[in-house]
Structure 1
Amino acid sequence: MPVAQTRLQVMQVTKLLQCVRDGDKEQIGKLCANGVPHLINYNEPNAGDTALSTAAVANKDNLISYLLELGAHPDVVDFQGRTPAMRAAEYGHVQCLERLLKPGGDAPEKKKRKGDDDDDEHFAIAADMTFKDLEGKGILWYCINSTQRHETCAELALKFAAETNNVDKNGNHVFVHACETASENEEICIKMLQSGSDANSKNEKSNRTALMAASKSGSQRVVRAILERGGEVDVQMLKLKVTAAHEAARGGFFQCLVTLHAYGAHFDVYDDRGNSPMHLAALKGSGPCCKYLAQRGCNPKPKNNEGNTARIIAKEEGHKEAIKEVRKGEKIFGKTGKNNDPWILALYDFCVERTEQLTDLYNRLDVDGHGTVAKEDFVDGLENIGAPMPLEADMKKILQSHDKEGRVDFNLFLTGKKYVNKQYLMSAFEPKKKKKKGKGKGKKGKTKIPLPICTQTEGPRTLGGGPPEVFVEEHLVHTDVGRFDRDRPPKHPLQDDSAWYLHKPDKAHMNIIQATVHRHYDTVQDALSKGVPVDITDKYYKTPLMVACQNGDLDMARWLIEKGANVNAFDNFKWTPLHFACHSGKKDLVEFLLDNGANLESTSLCGATPIMRAIESCRPGLVQFLIDRGAKMLNVTKHDDNVCDIAASFGDMRVYDIVKEKYDSVPKPKDNKKKGGKKSAPAKRPASNAGQAGKVTFP
């Protein structure tokens, strides 16, 4: 096909391709009628694209019919040798491929080009499916993908005689390439087999077969289809010595191994590294594969070239199930047991793989419908489908075990329960169902009660995509610290001209609670001026005032209260700012809070009052101050601890003496028992009698 070379040709081809992308039929018609002769089939000089290939890539199916009508050739190729049909198949454009294969199906009426004779007509021809690109690849190479559209494109290509045994210039077979991803495009592989692909197709350089590729992908359906059409099961690659069994074991595909053994695969084979399928299954950690391979003749004991057995490999990878099955395989390998002879397993696996075929055959022979057939018919049925028949004496034993009134129960035979060891049946590889445990008596012991921590979310983002409200913008000083600092401030605001030669610092955010801790007054002031509430809480429900009181910061607390902070707010443990101030031991801060309305008798979640927190701080002056302000001494926590108990626990004798003296001086409430009222619970008998000079008595 001609390639645009002159400036005029290049410009007209470029314009034509752009019009194709835009779908401008009118302009396309003008260019083809008045432009360079045969412009419709010209290649642009860069990649060799033509008008038809551009329409196929852009999925312009209606435009393809119009271009074919104008004289576009459907088999014109680009610089890589790809036809428009290949490009349409590559992108899964089904309608475009249909137009290329059936150009006259629903094409619009043909129009005459300017300058053509009345008798000269342009008839569109169908695309040729046997074309190959420069790498020797046909159209099927471009159809192999996992989408439904690519599957439809493959059907069309096969319908129009695409080459199913195409081999590229590197010796790679198209069917082997399709089987590499057989698990994703099973239908394409099956249809290629049905259309004539060779079941024994292989890559010429490596001797890698389609069966190996399908086994590696894990598609049992494709593996079965290949074997049914005569695929060789024990072929090895040239250098790597890998078989289909190696590939199935490498991926842990148990069902593929079952199908391979049903068609006579040998598992005791080794690759160039000395690995058997057992080594690869152990590396994958597939317990069922290891168990099946050991039962079907794969020796688990040999070492590979690195000196590792299958059990060592499984142990290094941490696959406990594989270790267990390999260890069992080492014990049973080579030992003859009951009903586990190789000929029994070969016959059983053969019948398992062809259960449907045998069932249909024997059902036709079972006229009475009792599930039995004559012995001669039973044996003939197995021989007709190519079963590995045992010796005559062994076959008689099987027939006797399934004898039912002189006939053979074929349904029972297909289960294998009468002539195969139950550990070798397919049911032994099914996952076991866990039995439901009955309600029994549980073990006695301490019950672990979960301790929930009450937290709240940080809240939604602020307007404009900013952080949550609790994160405020940090007040950054924009000045030259080399000239001015806290000790050398500017004498006049205009003297600080740092903004003229310093970059403005990036915006930063910080939690307002942290700003309170670090005494960032300007940051907190900026936040309050922007509408942030002064009693805003973090995820632990702490307000800035609580944090200031916790740190004993009187100046910050005074400033926050002037801004309207609530002195009686509480957090998730019901601690108020006064609780925090008393716990910090700052007398002046406590006095300031009380003077501003703090509740002296507020209780926390466990029932503790501020004076109890002051006792914990071990500050005698603060405790005496709260007593003088009228703090109640008879409050009890939920743990039945009074102020004396708390003072004794913290071990400060000065605080204990102050609290004890005041506690003893306070009159205790009396229990007033009224007639008809509820009787109080009897007091617990003490374990010792303190009135007998320290002597301890027991009841």
Structure 2
Amino acid sequence: MSSRVAEGRLQTLQIYRLLQLVHKGDTAQIEKMVQLGAEDLISLTEPKDGVGVLHVAVSANVLFYCIYPTKRHCHCLQVLLKCGADANSVSVQGMHVFQLMCEKAQECTPLCLIMLNAGADPNAAHQQKTGVTALMEAGKAGSLPLVRAIIRMGGDPNASDRKRLTAVHYAAMGGFFEVLQVLSAYSADMSAMSLKDCTALHYAAASGNANCCKFLAQRCNPKLKNREGLLPHQIAKDSGHNAVAKELRKAERKQGKGSDPSGTGQMSELWALTLHDWSQEYEAELWKAFGDKSDTVTAERFISVLEELQAPVEPDRIQAVISAHGGDVNISDFIRGVKYIKKPFRLSSYMPKKKKGGKGKKGGKKKKKGPFVLPMPVCTLPPELKPRRADGGPPSFMISSYFNCSDVLRFDPAHPPVHPVMNDSGWYIHKPPPVYVNVNSCVRTNDLESLDQAFSEGVPVDVQDEFYKTPLMVACSTGSYEMAQYLLSKADVNVCDQFFWTPLHHAAYAGQRELIELLVNAGANVDAPALGGATPLMRAIETSRVSCVDFLIEAGAQSCLDVARDFANPVIIDLVKQKMDSLPKPKDNSVVLQNTSITTGKTKLVDITFVPKTPPTTSQLMSKIERRNKLPSLEVDFDNLVMPFSRDLQ
């Protein structure tokens, strides 16, 4: 298809419009423009870069549209590859289709393996911009099968991007210990440094993964500083990972203390650790190569198998491994590294330890107390219930702090301006940027100006912070009478938090008698139950505030004598009993009581009262005993009387 550059304003505008429609995929509008637009519009190219509609339509390639984690897309990918689609397609922006697919390796690992088996380049990278390879993306996603497959297909584990980051760096960022183990088995450089002079250990320390930090500290120098002059343990400490920082300090002290100089004992050198990682990775291949006839092989057989499998070790160092095993090599001991690797450096040390059997109370040791664990998580407001403002500001419970625009050197509350026109402070005082504070912090500091400004801007008075507390609840719990009086003009007096505590609960628990009276007069429910069934009176009894208990009972709260006895305050117990006894008893013959009984159906209930039997007298009991003692004849028989051998005796 021949093409030509658009000429004139009309053709230029129409070709740009057609390119936009192709980007959007609007088929109906594309057909309309091709039919009604300029002559041969579909063959025109835009004058700047010479791009035509066909270039835009095929720039992404059909394989780019198969990168979705569904069975249908997987089937489409297989069909396209079978029909000859290029597995190494590159977009106009320089994006390789396999590298783009590996970016979504968390969801599309099966698709990536299909592409790899179809001939995709294992070293595919985004050459024009980032230089990130497919192996880096797989390591970043933590896809262990994909990382293993890419390396075995020829992927370079030491390739770096534009920032000089390698696959080891990306795996350390995500804290993927198994991926680091595989990369080490294939001789990846664990000490590679980025443009910021950061090793993978620096990134692992920031992530806080203890196993990754221990693994990398054994295979690289933990004393290397980055461009900012920080050691890995300092980064871990700044990130709040104190346990990891402690382990890294320990690794720094052990740095330089190598293996046995004779080379016959257990080792911790880098080549030995790489060989140990490789033996764990190639365990199945090793057993297959050595055969199942015997666990022990000769030194010559051992050397030939390692050379056949291309083990990452030099021939002269294999002799050190053989010497550590004492001549003949036990395959199981070699794979586990028990003879030539120090115990802290073996991969088995990273496995969770098995719990030993419990001992008796006499001989057993006392268990150490673990860290305190909350019985239930702290309930906080979910993100969907605290949306940000329309202008992108913080949630509504974060309000803008009030700023006094008057010059404090000229005017103060004692010397205000005589007339507003005299206050020209706004001409030379610059208003600072808004400072957002928690609305409940303003309540605690009695910042009425900020609250009044926020409520005038539309912030609801009953706004809840991230712990479900409203300003009125905070005012009641802190005992701020003026603030509570100010808030009650618009606030809901019976609003609840996550535990169904009302402001009256908070005031009663704080022992604020004046606030309790203020809330009750405003219409607060004196018998409002909390999540555990507790009422404000129970909270007042719990804090042993006599004045609060007295007022709540006078206000009509239901009595709680059992709660008062539990807290064992004699003054409170006597007060509650006195109030209970002073209540008027209901009359039995009152009309209200009879109507209530008829309505509830109590007049038709069957009497199920227990009536005990009349106990027998002493004479009746004695006569019963005499009858039992009287011996019956052999011919007389009773149901409960057993007389064996009666026939023989007769």
Task: Indicate how the Cα distance of structure 1 residues 140 and 397 shifts in structure 2: closer, same or farther if over 3 A, else same.
Answer: same
Contact 1:295 1:329 in 2 (8 A): yes
Code of the aligned partner of 2:135: L
Q: SS state of the match for residue 120, structure 2?
A: coil
Matched, 1:301 2:223: yes
Q: Among 210, 216, 222, which residue is 2:134 paired with?
A: 210
Code of the aligned partner of 1:283: A
Matched, 1:147 2:70: yes
> Residue 353 of structure 1 corresponds to which residue in structure 2?
281
Deviation of 1:237 after TM superposition, in Å, equals 1.4
For residues 200 and 494 of structure 2, the distance between their equivalents in structure 1, rounded to whole angstroms, comes to: 60
> Residue 685 of structure 1 corresponds to which residue in structure 2?
none
Deviation of 1:190 after TM superposition, in Å, equals 1.0
Q: Deviations over 1:125-175 (max 9, x none)?
A: xxxxxx985472122222223334433332233222222111111111111
Identity of aligned residues (%): 32
Q: SS state of the match for residue 234, structure 2?
A: helix
Q: Which of 262-271 and 508-517 deviates more?
A: 508-517
> Residue 183 of structure 2 corresponds to which residue in structure 1?
260
Contact 2:169 2:203 in 1 (8 A): yes
Deviation of 1:585 after TM superposition, in Å, equals 12
Q: Deviations over 1:610-644 (max 9, x none)?
A: xxxxxxxxxxxxxxxxxxxxxxxxxxxxxxxxxxx
> Residue 343 of structure 2 corresponds to which residue in structure 1?
422
Deviation of 1:216 after TM superposition, in Å, equals 0.9
Code of the aligned partner of 1:356: A
Contact 2:564 2:572 in 1 (8 A): no
> Residue 164 of structure 1 corresponds to which residue in structure 2?
87
Q: Deviations over 1:12-37 (max 9, x none)?
A: xxxxxxxxxxxxxxxxxxxxxxxxxx
> Residue 316 of structure 1 corresponds to which residue in structure 2?
238
Q: Deviations over 1:364-406 (max 9, x none)?
A: xx5xx222444433322211121134344x43343355468xx
Q: Which of 328-337 and 351-360 deviates more?
A: 328-337
Q: Deviations over 1:409-441 (max 9, x none)?
A: 323322221122222211012223344553436
> Residue 14 of structure 1 corresponds to which residue in structure 2?
none
For residues 193 and 537 of structure 1, the distance between their equivalents in structure 2, rounded to whole angstroms, comes to: 64
Alignment of 1:150-549 (within 5 A): 150-205=73-128, 206-238=130-162, 240-296=163-219, 298-338=220-260, 339-363=267-291, 369-392=293-316, 394-402=317-325, 408-435=329-356, 437-440=358-361, 510=494, 539-540=533-534
Code of the aligned partner of 1:312: Q
For residues 46 and 397 of structure 1, the distance between their equivalents in structure 2, rounded to whole angstroms, comes to: 64
Contact 2:22 2:57 in 1 (8 A): no
Q: Which of 514-523 and 240-249 deviates more?
A: 514-523
Code of the aligned partner of 2:272: I
For residues 326 and 276 of structure 2, the distance between their equivalents in structure 1, rounded to whole angstroms, comes to: 18
> Residue 583 of structure 2 corresponds to which residue in structure 1?
593
Q: SS state of the match for residue 184, structure 1?
A: helix
Deviation of 1:235 after TM superposition, in Å, equals 1.5
Task: Indicate how the Cα distance of structure 1 residues 287 and 243 shifts in structure 2: closer, same or farther if over 3 A, else same.
Answer: same
Task: Indicate how the Cα distance of structure 1 residues 510 and 327 shifts in structure 2: closer, same or farther if over 3 A, else same.
Answer: closer
For residues 137 and 590 of structure 1, the distance between their equivalents in structure 2, rounded to whole angstroms, comes to: 83
Contact 2:98 2:115 in 1 (8 A): yes
- The normalised TM-score by structure 1 is 0.48
Deviation of 1:241 after TM superposition, in Å, equals 1.2
Q: Which of 303-312 and 326-335 deviates more?
A: 326-335
- The normalised TM-score by structure 2 is 0.51
Kindly name which structure, 1 or 2, has the bigger radius of gyration based on alpha carbons. Answer: 1
Q: SS state of the match for residue 583, structure 2?
A: helix
For residues 537 and 277 of structure 1, the distance between their equivalents in structure 2, rounded to whole angstroms, comes to: 56
Deviation of 1:329 after TM superposition, in Å, equals 2.1
Deviation of 1:188 after TM superposition, in Å, equals 1.0
Deviation of 1:331 after TM superposition, in Å, equals 2.0
Code of the aligned partner of 1:245: V
Code of the aligned partner of 1:219: S
Q: Deviations over 1:467-489 (max 9, x none)?
A: xxxxxxxxxxxxxxxxxxxxxxx
For residues 206 and 173 of structure 2, the distance between their equivalents in structure 1, rounded to whole angstroms, comes to: 8
Q: SS state of the match for residue 107, structure 2?
A: coil
Task: Indicate how the Cα distance of structure 1 residues 211 and 506 shifts in structure 2: closer, same or farther if over 3 A, else same.
Answer: same
Q: SS state of the match for residue 343, structure 1?
A: helix
Deviation of 1:249 after TM superposition, in Å, equals 1.1
Code of the aligned partner of 1:306: E
For residues 518 and 233 of structure 2, the distance between their equivalents in structure 1, rounded to whole angstroms, comes to: 61
Task: Indicate how the Cα distance of structure 1 residues 305 and 336 shifts in structure 2: closer, same or farther if over 3 A, else same.
Answer: same
Contact 1:552 1:581 in 2 (8 A): no
Task: Indicate how the Cα distance of structure 1 residues 46 and 311 shifts in structure 2: closer, same or farther if over 3 A, else same.
Answer: closer
For residues 274 and 346 of structure 1, the distance between their equivalents in structure 2, rounded to whole angstroms, comes to: 23
Contact 2:325 2:340 in 1 (8 A): no
> Residue 550 of structure 2 corresponds to which residue in structure 1?
550
For residues 324 and 437 of structure 1, the distance between their equivalents in structure 2, rounded to whole angstroms, comes to: 30
Gaps of 5+ in 1: 2-42, 55-76, 80-130, 444-504, 528-533, 561-565, 599-699
For residues 155 and 167 of structure 1, the distance between their equivalents in structure 2, rounded to whole angstroms, comes to: 19
Deviation of 1:259 after TM superposition, in Å, equals 1.1
Deviation of 1:207 after TM superposition, in Å, equals 1.8
Q: SS state of the match for residue 105, structure 2?
A: coil
For residues 316 and 343 of structure 1, the distance between their equivalents in structure 2, rounded to whole angstroms, comes to: 33
For residues 272 and 522 of structure 2, the distance between their equivalents in structure 1, rounded to whole angstroms, comes to: 89
Q: Among 583, 600, 603, which residue is 2:575 paired with?
A: 583
Contact 1:144 1:150 in 2 (8 A): yes
Deviation of 1:195 after TM superposition, in Å, equals 0.2
Q: Among 48, 59, 70, which residue is 1:136 paired with?
A: 59
Code of the aligned partner of 1:159: K
Code of the aligned partner of 2:351: E
For residues 294 and 519 of structure 2, the distance between their equivalents in structure 1, rounded to whole angstroms, comes to: 94
Code of the aligned partner of 2:550: Q
Q: How many residues get paired? A: 388
Contact 1:552 1:584 in 2 (8 A): no
Deviation of 1:197 after TM superposition, in Å, equals 0.3
Q: SS state of the match for residue 396, structure 1?
A: helix
Code of the aligned partner of 1:286: N
For residues 381 and 553 of structure 1, the distance between their equivalents in structure 2, rounded to whole angstroms, comes to: 90
For residues 294 and 158 of structure 2, the distance between their equivalents in structure 1, rounded to whole angstroms, comes to: 40
For residues 313 and 490 of structure 2, the distance between their equivalents in structure 1, rounded to whole angstroms, comes to: 85
Deviation of 1:187 after TM superposition, in Å, equals 1.0
